[in-house]
Amino acid sequence: MFLTLPSILEKWPCQWSSGASGRRASPSFNAGEAVTALELLQRERECGSITTFSSQLDHALKGGLPVGKVTEICGAPGVGKTHLCLQLSVDIQIPRSFGGLEAQVIFMDTEGSFVLQRVVDIAAAVVRHFSLLAVDGEQKDTMQTFNMESILSNIFLVRCHDYVELQAELLLLPDFLRDKPRVRLLVIDSVAFPFRQHLDDLSQRTRLLQGLAQQVISMATRHNIAVVITNQMTTRLQDSQSHLVPALGEIWGHASTTRIILQWEGSQQVAAIVKSPCCIDTAIQYQITSEGFRDANQPEITLTNRR
């Protein structure tokens, strides 16, 4: 490829590297390119969002979890963070004829909480839900291919045992996303677990987390994927009272665009949106049923334990 001197001088260095490696043309933001706010708004509208199957939470988030942004889900153990991540991993595969994104997901599990039985439960409930909803011919046709096997084949699992393996997987993720262009969701469950073990040097941890935050934000915008990261809670002493706050410190708090805290209030589970650029701080009630993440007042179809 021959180029003239003026055209070389106009380009930015990163445009050269992307050209040399032959990366696919991404519809999203290119470094150094100036766009108008209207174009950004249109792009954001095209990106879409992932439904959570809780209509109240979807309404509070203006449609669902945003694609192209980083969302953080914090909560105490057992409150439902992994359940919400599994629900999103299935929901992103909802066919376009039903208004979904029909995309794939890569799930990075650091805690070992990805249990196959639960994914199967949630997937079965979603397939049942849409087979009841299918009205026209196109939707009924898509239900032929939207089944348990196809759902399971579109979720890619990586098991990371410590923060070094997590770093390694994130470094190799751009290659993976290039090979699998249908992937539109990255789930990291959880980021706190590996970073709170074996890392005594807090400044090293902070810098690693900042690097990780920059990596995921750039991946979210460059490849137009939604990134969902779960975080643990820790106790902070303030005015001789203890409060539950998200772990990993204040600096990590800047990494995500949207932050949702799942907590117990008495016997009710509540999802509080504490940080969001487009929604006001709201708290909605939810429940975890055998079918997955649902609204609090939604009647459950089956409550019995199944093998």
Partner 1 sequence: MICWGQKQQLKRQRIKNMTEILQCLAGYRPTTVNGPAQEQKCRIVSHFQSANLKSVREVLSLPAVDVQRLTGLAHPEVHQLLTAAAHACRRHAPLSVLQLQRGECCRCESGLRLGVSCPVLDGLLRGGLPVGGITELSGQSGAGKTQLALQISLSVQYPVEHGGLGGGALYICTEDSFPIRRLQQMISEQANLRSEVPSSLIRGLRFSDHVYIEHAADLDSLQVCLSRRAPVLLAAGLVRLIVVDSVAALFRSEFQAEDWMERNKQLLTFSSMLHQLSQEFTTPVLCINQVTDVLKDHDSLGPLSSSVTPALGLAWANQVLVRLMIRRLQKTVSRGDQSSALRQLEVVFAPHLARSKCEVAVWREGVRGVAAFE
Site for partner 1 in 127-186 (CB under 8 A): 149, 152-159, 161, 163-165, 167-169, 171-172, 175-176
Site string for partner 1, 79-118 (x = CB under 8 A): x--xx----------------------x--x-xxxxxxxx
Candidate residues 5, 8, 34, 132; the one interacting with partner 1 per rule CB under 8 A: 8
Residues within window 21-50 making contact with partner 1, judged by CB under 8 A:
21
Size of the site for partner 1 (CB under 8 A): 74
Q: Which of residues 189-208 bind partner 1 (CB under 8 A)?
A: 192-193, 196-198, 200, 204, 207-208
Joined tokens for residue 39: 């174009």
- 10 Å CB burial of residue 45 (0-12, 13-18, 19+) is exposed
- Least Å from the CB of residue 51 to partner 1: 20
Residues 305 and 176: their CA atoms lie apart, in Å, by 37
**174-201 burial, b for 16+ CB within 10 Å, e for fewer?**
beebeeeeebbbbbbbbbbbbbeeeeee
Query: With respect to partner 1, which residue has the nearer C-beta, 4 or 36?
Result: 4
Q: Which CB sits closer to partner 1, 79 or 229?
A: 79
Per the CB < 8 A criterion, the answer to whether 196 and 164 are in contact is: no
How does DSSP classify residue 205? H
Helix (H, G, I), strand (E, B) or coil at 288: strand
Tokens of 132: 């009841």
Nearest to 127 by CA among 91, 97, 156: 91
Nearer to partner 1, 7 or 36 (CB): 7
> Exposure of 24 by Cβ count < 10 A (0-12 exposed, 13-18 middle, 19+ buried)?
exposed
Range in contact with partner 1 (rule: CB under 8 A) among 40-48, 138-146, 240-248, 278-286: 240-248
CB-wise, 280 or 303, nearer to partner 1? 303
Decide whether 6 or 99 has the Cβ nearer to partner 1. 6
At its nearest, how many Å lie between partner 1 and the CB of residue 9?
10
C-beta of 121: minimal distance to partner 1 in Å? 8
Which two structure tokens, joined as six digits, stand for 280? 């006001």
